[in-house]
Amino acid sequence: MNNELFDRANERYRLRDYRGALLTFTECLQDTTSPLAPGEMGLLYHQIGNCLVKLKNPREAIQAYSQATADAAYGAMGTVECNLGMAYASLRDYQNAIRYFEQSVADEANPTPYKSYMGMGNALMKLGKSAEAGVAFREAALDEANPDPTKALLNLGVCFMALNRPADAVASYESAMQFDMLSSTRNKLQASLGQAYVACGQMEKAVHAFEEAIADAIEQVFKIDNLVIVEKFIEGMEITVAVLGNEDAYALPIIEIVPRGEFYDFDSKYAPGGSQHICPARLDEALTKQIQAQAVAAHKALDCTGVSRSDFILDEDGVAWILETNTIPGMTATSLLPDAARAAGMDFPALCTQLIAYALER
């Protein structure tokens, strides 16, 4: 192998010039003046795969890593197979990812099996296999080569919660708290511990854990800014109000949002069938008019024009808490604005025409 080219490629990789490193590793591989010794082809393809991962090209990285595994003399096969698993996981091909993670941990020469166990656990969680994922995370936590088992223990606790075993989750989270960790990890861990305490009925411990999580989060924000906004958690009905117009703005019928899952998360909002939109919302006339007036007031206070959509939580006392005002609400098949317009007798082409007219007014 041309050692001069290889060293140059490694230096470029160290300097994060991944494209330059990729070209130089490839040049080294194709250099006919310096024959490759046994194992060197695998090494070069391994490094090429690493460059391609950094360049966010997992499909070509898989091809390179596969070429590396074809070199039986290469001594880092377990690491390559772990990288293959990671590349497949980034493509959401979790079955192939698990297959390579399993091959990686079976390699006795693999110096870092905990990485493969972590990848395997994450892939299994994506497939909804919490029990199997828990086994993988436990192995990652117990691996003596793992310098920081906190993430493995945190994920193990998540698996226990999914399996309705909160006491085991508490034990896992409390074990993780014994280690030094990044502040972001500690914050997530404290919040997860609080949830596990709640599930166990240990409310005082839960409150303490949540207070620790909030205090830590505030401390972290103050490291990057001098302003912190802390919002009260409001539980209740999710509603949204679209407003049309400029100076003469008016509110469309209110939509009540009923997510299919526990929370109105990304999938609930954007996946077809992720939530039910009830329009008009199941509210009495007086409350409907009050909330619509709030939405129009927000539209005007923020100097919105044409269209806006304000989101609210209606608590158990009938108080509507405004969360935010969207100045460019979605116009897709699962979006809320077209639903509200339809309930008001305005189809999609008419809605688009009206929005154009409002823009021309300005």
Task: Write the CATH number for 162.
Answer: 1.25.40.10
**Residues 218 and 261 placed together within one structural domain of the fold:** no
Q: Give residue for tokens 């509507």.
A: 320
Name, in order, each residue with C-beta under 8 angstroms of 282's C-beta and a sequence gap of 6 or more: 256
pLDDT value at 183 more than 70: no
pLDDT digits (tens, 9 = 90+) for 186-239: 888 999 999 999 999 999 999 999 999 988 888 888 989 998 888 888 889 999
Number of domains in the chain: 2
Contact 305, 299 (CB under 8 A): no
**Residues 252 and 194 placed together within one structural domain of the fold:** no
pLDDT at residue 188, as a whole number: 87
Residue 274 forms part of a structural domain: yes
**Residues 145 and 255 placed together within one structural domain of the fold:** no
pLDDT digits (tens, 9 = 90+) for 103-150: 999 999 999 999 999 999 999 999 999 999 999 999 999 999 998 899
Closest CA to 172 of 155, 188, 187: 155
Q: Mean pLDDT for the chain?
A: 92
**Residues 7 and 110 placed together within one structural domain of the fold:** yes
**Residues 253 and 212 placed together within one structural domain of the fold:** no
Domain finish residue from 197, 222, 247: 222
pLDDT at residue 264, as a whole number: 78
Closest CA to 168 of 188, 197, 191: 197
pLDDT at residue 217, as a whole number: 87
pLDDT digits (tens, 9 = 90+) for 53-86: 999 999 999 999 999 999 999 989 999 999 999 9
**Residues 216 and 241 placed together within one structural domain of the fold:** no
Contact 210, 306 (CB under 8 A): no
Domain finish residue from 178, 194, 222: 222
* Cα–Cα distance for residue pair 170/161, rounded to 1 Å: 9
**Residues 17 and 132 placed together within one structural domain of the fold:** yes
pLDDT digits (tens, 9 = 90+) for 315-360: 999 999 999 999 999 888 778 999 999 999 999 999 999 999 999 9
Residue 228 forms part of a structural domain: no
* Cα–Cα distance for residue pair 31/15, rounded to 1 Å: 23
pTM above 0.85, yes or no: no
pLDDT at residue 237, as a whole number: 94
Task: Write the CATH number for 262.
Answer: 3.30.470.20
pLDDT at residue 155, as a whole number: 94
**Residues 161 and 269 placed together within one structural domain of the fold:** no
**Residues 146 and 19 placed together within one structural domain of the fold:** yes
Domain finish residue from 222, 256, 272: 222
| Full domain range(s) for residue 298 | 237-361
Residue 88 forms part of a structural domain: yes
Residue 282 vs residues 174, 325, 335: alpha-carbon distances, Å: 44, 21, 19
Percent of the chain with pLDDT over 70: 99
Residue 231 forms part of a structural domain: no
pLDDT digits (tens, 9 = 90+) for 10-58: 999 999 999 999 999 999 999 988 889 999 999 999 999 999 999 999 9
**Residues 213 and 248 placed together within one structural domain of the fold:** no
Residue 41 forms part of a structural domain: yes
**Residues 208 and 269 placed together within one structural domain of the fold:** no
Per-residue pLDDT, averaged over 282-293, amounts to 96
pLDDT value at 271 more than 90: no
pLDDT at residue 181, as a whole number: 64
**Residues 153 and 243 placed together within one structural domain of the fold:** no
